[in-house]
Structure 1
Amino acid sequence: MRTSSSRPERLFVTGIGTDVGKTLIAAILTEALQADYWKPVQAGLEPTTDTATVRRLVSNPHSVFHPEAYRLQLPASPHLAAAREQVTIQADAFQLPATANHLVVEGAGGLLVPLAPGLLLADVIAPLGLEVVVVSRHYLGSINHTLLTLEALQRRNIPVRGLVFNGAPTPATEDFITQHTGVPILPRLQPETDVTAATISRYAPAFRQWFGL
């Protein structure tokens, strides 16, 4: 844990792959910090968006939900969805929302998801001055994916705020990752079958305490 200072948190939430719980963690962080939330790129608008999901799960009255920089219809990799819609995603379009509050930014897929020819999601994080929260979930190959994600962040000199393990505890996997990388470990999430605002509120105090709030 790192004690909170007067400087607001600026967090970028990424996962080691798809369907690892990135949006769930983003909602918990938004609730715990009573932070603003921003999803820069949304690929797929039906049946709902990640912004709408987080808004539904967050119950504090202080969070502001900022509009996406890009809203793409096709639920696919952003570079493909943008190409199908004749949209060019440009790095200089990513400007942090104007807010003095804590800010949680949710990525699209994993760290190296392509946005446009020659442009990866990781390329837009460092210029925004964000610290990364990595979400890991146990499956065959997850150690490799977790270490590759953390190594890619290190190579780009992007600071890692911490790692979240989502799902049933797997001590052998988690101990190896923790000892090998030395990254801070945030509170874990247990398997959740029905995620509601009450679920998010239940986890929020532990995360708030981790941030020293």
Structure 2
Amino acid sequence: MNKLFITGIGTEVGKTVCSAVLTQYFKADYWKPVQSGDLEYTDTHKIESWTENTVCHPETFRFQLAASPHQSAREENTEISLEQFQLPKTANKLIVEGAGGLMVPLSDEIFMIDLIEKLRIPVALVVRNYLGCINHSLLSIMALKQKKLKLEYLILNGAFPPDTERAISNFIKKETVIIRIPEIDQPTKDSIKAVAEQLAKTNL
């Protein structure tokens, strides 16, 4: 794994916590292309706080309004285009974290999945257990297949009923690796490091 795009089946599924774990595990750099809202404590700030010695590259866009990026951009009389995004230059591995899910609009014409397609890097899909997560997971996997984007990892964040996990995992290709990350109620540098060390035993 040299570069990896972390996306989710929706909002609030734990992408940033999972990004922190993988950033720590791979000793990678981190990049959040678009930050909408929470500028006082961004996802980049969280990664800096929760991981050790991580190089965090600046966001391409930072917006005040906590909303979909296309709405946040419009509030600031800005329009997002794919040409404005360039992968940071680094000799290290790189974790890229998206905003929301695959179909989050960046403008009226482009979506988060279009950014992944432009960057052409493998994907890790974060799944959290809730009523409807099977539908959201399978739709996300279908969208990635349609765009011929490689699903490198399926990340099961937290506990899952066996029936739910089976329905989702049966839908992915054999080469996709399943990562199980336990519930981390209060992320800290120590708790993130502990989970990363547990992952090291699985030889991702």
Whether the TM-score (by the shorter chain) exceeds 0.5 is: yes
Q: Are 1:81 and 2:95 counterparts?
A: no
> Aligned to 1:137, which of 128, 132, 138?
128
Report SS of the residue matched to 1:119.
coil
Looking at structure 1, the residues matched to 111 and 21 of structure 2 have their Cα atoms a distance apart, in angstroms, of 26
User: Which of 171, 189, 197 is the equivalent residue of 2:189?
Assistant: 197
- Per-residue CA shift, 1:26-72, capped at 9, x if unaligned? 0111100110000000000344100001110001x3x3100000000
The aligned counterpart of 1:4 is none
1:7-22 maps to which residues of 2 (within 5 A)? Answer: 9-22=2-15
State the number of aligned residues. 203
Question: What is the identity, as a one-letter code, of the residue corresponding to 1:141?
Answer: G
> Corresponding residue for 2:180?
188
Corresponding letter in the other structure for 1:188: R
**What is the Cα deviation at residue 176 of structure 1?**
1.5
Cα distance between partner residues in 2 of 1:118 and 1:211: 40
* Residues 184-203 of structure 1 deviation map (CA, whole Å, 9 limit, x = unaligned): 34331222222111111011
CA RMSD of aligned residues (A): 1.4
Alignment match, 1:169: 160
How far does the alpha carbon of each residue in 1:4-47 deviate from its partner, in whole angstroms, 9 at most, with x for none? xxxx5210000100100000010111100110000000000344
Tell me if structure 2 keeps the 8 A contact 1:186–1:210. Answer: no
- TM-score, normalised with respect to structure 1: 0.90
**% same residue:** 42
Q: Is the 8 A contact 1:17 1:109 kept in 2?
A: yes
**Where does residue 41 of structure 1 map in the other structure?**
34
Structure 1 residue corresponding to 2:145, chosen from 154, 158, 161 = 154
Query: Do the aligned residues in 2 keep the contact of 1:33 with 1:208 (CA within 8 Å)?
Result: no
The normalised TM-score by structure 2 is 0.94
- Paired residue for 1:25? 18
- Is 1:31–1:201's contact at 8 Å kept on the other side of the alignment? yes
- Deviation, 1:148, is 0.4
Counterpart Cα distance in 1 of 2:23 and 2:154: 16
Task: Give the residue type in structure 2 aligned to 1:145.
Answer: H
- Whether the aligned pair in 1 keeps the contact of 2:9 and 2:140 (CA below 8 Å) is yes
| Separation of aligned partners in 1, 2:60 and 2:201 | 32
Q: Which runs of 4 or more aligned residues in structure 1 lie more than 4 Å from their structure 2 counterparts after TM superposition?
A: 209-212
Deviation at 1:210, TM superposition (A): 4.7
Superposed CA deviations along residues 86-140 of structure 1, whole A, max 9, x for unmatched, are: 0111110110000111000000000110001211111111221210000000111
Structure-2 change in CA distance of 1:96 and 1:210 (3 Å): farther
CA distances 1:155-207 after superposition (whole Å, capped 9, x unpaired): 00111111011112311100121123235343312222221111110111243
Structure 2: state its 5+ residue gaps.
none
- 2:40 is equivalent to residue 56 of structure 1: no
Contiguous gaps of at least 5 residues in structure 1: 1-7
SS in structure 2 of the partner of residue 186 of structure 1: strand
* Whole-Å separation in 2 of the counterparts to 1:210 and 1:89: 39
SS at match of 1:116: coil
